[in-house]
Amino acid sequence: MVSSPPTPHNMAAGSAGRRGTLLVGLVIGLLARGIQSSAPPRPYTPDWASLDSRPTPRWFAAAKFGIKMHWGMYAVPSFNDFKPKEQDAAQYWRFNQAAVGCPRAQNPGCKGAPFGKMGENNSVRQFHQRAFPGVHTYDQFEPMFTAPLFNATKWATLFAASGARYMRPVVKFGDGWTHWPSNTTGNWGSAHAGPRRDVVGELFAAARGLGLKTGVHFELSEWLDPDTLKKVLPPWRADALSSVDPVRYRDTVVWTQLTQLVETYQPDDIYTDSEWDWSSDWWQSRNWLAWLFNESSNFSEIEVSRFRF
């Protein structure tokens, strides 16, 4: 739902005289030179024509250079030796799991890992068997993810020294692990487990202290959430999909988390990924974007640099 914009202040009085005329002329002149107006924005409606008409915030057009940090629990194995190099270290568990998750007895046409062409004896699996022989599920990495080298001030200082004008951490990847205190994930996040720190809050405070803009990279779908497995599991696992509820995931996880991030941290930029084959109509993304541009706490400054819906 898009609310009506506030009524602008009355800027003229019937007999303001010459001083009032000069003031109005000055305001018009400044606006013509690109000074940001304090007038309320026009309301955006939940359709692409309206949403696409929103101008790019000036800060983003001027920034030119920013840094994205892809860091999470997958930093525990920290392994990236994929051949072919079709993914990065953040995909570690997907490939490790896929290497043993393709039972030819149930699917004679299986040609190795369902998430790639790396085969059952891929380098990820070989490394895992050597380095973590006792780790059989992804959540076993959680107590190892203590983040002893995480220092938000040092990271932000490095980014600022590089010439970057904004930074964008991956606040939730496909493993569903959140880097902020979220009430949607139980204890599956850095504030309640692992390092037990509000990573987003610390990074944003450090970056803003150095004049950097801030953004969030947010993965829409999760490999481990039972209601999104339908998009990840191979066809021969159809028997395990009878209880999934992707609508529940969309409404109570995705939109709740994104709204929570916007209202708690006021990011300057949003970047989403992993919409997979669900359409924008299914995601109902236009309704959320209309709220973001009209009513959110950072509506005038926030940039949506990538919205995969």
Model pLDDT for residues 150-182, shown as the tens digit of each residue: 999 999 999 999 999 999 999 998 888 899 999
Q: Is 291 left (phi over 0), alpha (psi -120 to 50) or beta?
A: alpha
Could you tell me the pTM of the whole model? 0.75
Residue-wise pLDDT for 99-117, tens only, equals 444 433 333 333 333 444 4
Task: Please tell me what DSSP assigns to residue 253.
Answer: I
How would you classify the pairing of strands 213-219 and 303-306?
Answer: unpaired
Residue-wise pLDDT for 212-262, tens only, equals 999 999 988 776 555 454 444 433 334 444 446 778 888 888 899 999 999
Residues 6+ apart with CB under 8 A from 179: 72, 169, 170, 171, 172, 189, 190, 198, 199, 200
Residues 6+ apart with CB under 8 A from 36: 58, 300
Residues 6+ apart with CB under 8 A from 59: 165, 213, 268, 301, 303
Spatial CA neighbour of 95 closest among 79, 126, 116:
116
Q: Are 128 and 96 in contact (CB under 8 A)?
A: yes
Q: How far is CA 267 from CA 140, 145, 250, in A?
A: 31, 25, 21
How far is it, in rounded angstroms, from Cα 25 to Cα 16? 13
Mean pLDDT, rounded, for 265-291: 87
pLDDT of residue 204 exceeding 60 = yes
How far is it, in rounded angstroms, from Cα 276 to Cα 130? 33
pLDDT of residue 149 exceeding 60 = yes
Residue-wise pLDDT for 71-81, tens only, equals 998 889 888 76
Q: Could you tell me the sign of the dihedral formed by the alpha carbons of 175, 182, 165, 301, in that order?
A: positive
Domain boundaries, the chain: 48-72+145-306, 74-143
Domain 48-72+145-306 carries which CATH code? 3.20.20.80
